[in-house]
């Protein structure tokens, strides 16, 4: 990501930094390295906890964990992000809340594994990351997944990839305390290079849908809005609560059960305008995911742009989770020739993605930066990406 944060970030490759960090902290080399990417959601926002559909892809920005077993059965973790080394044992992971801050994501994974009955090996870990923190690109899921895959391999645990997202989500919900859905952990663990991950959040079935931007001469420009996350946690929980209440009023298990053609009937049965808007977003967004998947399956990737832009309008007007910075970025990207643009992630800041002709990426980024300057916002960050691989062992 360009911008002031990137300038501060070390230039060595993230996998090298993890290995060096390990050797410096523990005086010997790691036995292996495990990587997990950040993610962007192409479309399908706030649909995951409504048992709906999402379509994320993995970013080429990664978190890498270098690791080795720790014979005394405890865990030690150092991170280049904070410069500290923390340690914890079985007592601290007996219940949530004992390890806090970034360490909670690591301890949460150990806790969730133990809760699920796994004999988690003690380990020494060193973390390095290129995924920007707090930008809505799932740096937390990347950390959870890199740690999880390392511990699964080191301990020879019986936890196949398809069961790992739920466990990582449990770490985030139960230990860290964030009531998020299943999308982020699924994306960072199960995505494939050159593809988007079509996930049905009800039964967790997946399809790797071709999203070969390179072949189409396209790219995704990811713009970090740099908007301060204003009350993001409380607003997320409030949206989730509204959706659950609406499902209850409509007599369905989840808003996923309201089909697009049944939307008008459902809205007529709700007497609050705000609830109607929330429901309309979720129902129309699920349909936009299905429409996007259909276009991608047919190799018509250029044509998904209007669906992305419609998704943004729905988040802005119906779900009310955008902020002026992200709306400005979307408008400027579209005016500069992006085929479609939308905020990605939970909202109230975070990143915008724009589908662009690859050779136009820099011009679109410049147009967004200029629009920011005109509005007096601090300069945005940006990076041009192609869909990368999910979590994997490196060596």
Q: Is the CB of 103 or the CB of 346 nearer to ligand GLA?
A: 346
Rounded distance between C-alpha atoms, residue 185 and residue 297, angstroms:
24
Q: Is the CB of 184 or the CB of 224 nearer to ligand GLA?
A: 184
Q: Is the CB of 179 or the CB of 262 nearer to ligand GLA?
A: 179
Virtual torsion, Cα 126, 130, 133, 137, nearest 10 deg: -120
Shortest Cβ 392–ligand GLA spacing (Å)? 22
Which residues contribute to the site for ligand GLA (CB under 6 A)? Answer: 41, 45-46, 48-49, 180-181, 183-184, 345-346
Shortest Cβ 45–ligand GLA spacing (Å)? 4
Rounded distance between C-alpha atoms, residue 56 and residue 199, angstroms:
8
Strands laid side by side in the 195-200 sheet = 53-54, 195-200, 206-210
List, in sequence order, every residue forming a beta bridge with 129; answer none if it has no partner: 63
Q: Is the CB of 191 or the CB of 332 nearer to ligand GLA?
A: 191
Per the residue annotation, which of 130, 184, 224, 318 is the catalytic one?
A: 184
Shortest Cβ 48–ligand GLA spacing (Å)? 5
Full DSSP string of 143-208: HHHHHHHHHHHHHT----GGGHHHHHHHIIIIII-----SHHHHHHHH--TTEEEEEETTT--EEE
Shortest Cβ 181–ligand GLA spacing (Å)? 3
Q: Is the CB of 70 or the CB of 202 nearer to ligand GLA?
A: 202
| 3-class DSSP assignment, residue 12 | coil
* Residue-level length of the chain: 395
- What angle (nearest 5°) sits at the alpha carbon of residue 2, between those of residues 343 and 356? 50
Shortest Cβ 236–ligand GLA spacing (Å)? 7
CB atoms within 10 A of CB 156: 8
Q: Is the CB of 103 or the CB of 345 nearer to ligand GLA?
A: 345
Q: Give the contacts of 123 (CB within 8 A, at least 6 positions apart).
A: 67, 68, 69, 70, 75, 76, 150, 151, 154
- Does residue 72 carry a catalytic annotation? no
Shortest Cβ 317–ligand GLA spacing (Å)? 17
Residue with tokens 């936890």: 159
Which residue numbers are catalytic? 184
């Amino acid at each position: 990501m360009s911008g002031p944060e990137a300038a501060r970030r070390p230039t060595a490759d993230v996998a090298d930094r993890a290995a060096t960090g390990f050797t410096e902290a523990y005086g010997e080399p790691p036995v292996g390295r495990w990587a997990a990417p950040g993610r962007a959601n192409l479309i399908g926002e706030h649909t995951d906890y409504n048992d709906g559909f999402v379509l994320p892809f993995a970013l080429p920005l990664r978190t890498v964990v270098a690791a080795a077993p720790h014979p005394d059965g405890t865990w030690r973790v150092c991170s280049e992000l904070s410069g500290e080394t923390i340690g914890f044992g079985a007592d601290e992971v007996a219940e949530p809340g004992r390890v806090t801050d970034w360490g909670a994501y690591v301890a949460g994974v150990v806790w969730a594994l133990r809760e699920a009955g796994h004999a988690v090996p003690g380990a020494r870990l060193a973390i390095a990351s290129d995924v920007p923190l707090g930008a809505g690109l799932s740096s937390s899921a990347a950390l959870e997944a890199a740690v999880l895959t390392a511990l699964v391999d080191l301990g020879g645990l019986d936890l196949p990839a398809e069961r790992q997202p739920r466990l990582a989500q449990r770490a985030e919900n139960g230990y860290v305390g964030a009531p998020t859905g299943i999308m982020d952990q699924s994306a960072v663990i199960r995505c494939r290079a050159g593809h988007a991950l079509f996930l049905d959040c009800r039964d967790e079935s997946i399809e790797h849908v071709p999203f070969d931007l390179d072949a189409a001469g396209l790219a995704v420009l990811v713009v970090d809005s740099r908007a301060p996350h204003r009350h993001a946690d409380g607003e997320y929980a409030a949206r989730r609560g509204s959706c659950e209440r609406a499902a209850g009023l409509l007599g369905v298990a989840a808003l996923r059960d309201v089909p697009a053609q049944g939307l008008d009937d459902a809205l007529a049965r709700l007497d609050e305008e705000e609830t109607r808007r929330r429901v309309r977003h979720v129902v129309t967004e699920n349909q936009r995911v299905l429409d996007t998947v259909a276009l991608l399956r047919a190799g018509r990737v250029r044509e998904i742009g209007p669906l992305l832009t419609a998704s943004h309008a729905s988040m802005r007007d119906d779900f009310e989770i955008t902020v002026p910075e992200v709306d400005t970025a979307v408008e400027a990207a579209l005016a500069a020739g992006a085929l479609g643009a939308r905020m990605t992630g939970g909202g109230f800041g975070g990143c915008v993605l724009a589908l662009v002709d690859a050779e136009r990426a820099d011009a679109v980024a410049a147009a967004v930066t200029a629009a920011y300057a005109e509005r007096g916002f601090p300069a945005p960050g940006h990076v041009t990406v192609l869909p990368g691989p999910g979590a994997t062992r490196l060596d």
